[in-house]
């Protein structure tokens, strides 16, 4: 499991296909501009 956190700006729709292609999103938490993901390798 990989946990990453960072600010995702207006490129969210551009970035997410790359994450979803290689990772299964276990959980995503959003606090303002901050996104924290718990990811599992596909």
Rounded Cα gap, residues 5 and 1, in angstroms? 13
Q: Cβ distance 25 to 42 under 8 Å?
A: no
Q: Cβ distance 28 to 36 under 8 Å?
A: yes
Q: What is the domain count for the chain?
A: 1
The residues pairing with 41 across neighbouring beta strands, listed in sequence order, are 23
Domain holding 11, by residue range, is 2-30
The residues pairing with 39 across neighbouring beta strands, listed in sequence order, are 2, 25
Does residue 26 lie within any of the structural domains? yes
Does residue 25 lie within any of the structural domains? yes
Distance from CA of residue 3 to its chain's centroid? 9
Tens digits of per-residue pLDDT, 16-34? 999 999 999 999 999 999 9
Q: What is the pLDDT of residue 6?
A: 95
The upper half-sphere exposure of residue 35, i.e. CA atoms within 13 Å in the direction of its Cβ, equals 14
pLDDT at 9 exceeding the cut of 90: no
Summary mean pLDDT of the chain: 95
């Amino acid at each position: 499991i990989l946990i990453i956190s960072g600010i995702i700006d207006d490129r969210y729709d551009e970035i997410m296909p790359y994450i979803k292609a290689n990772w299964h999103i276990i959980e995503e938490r959003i606090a303002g501009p901050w996104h924290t993901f718990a990811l599992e390798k596909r």
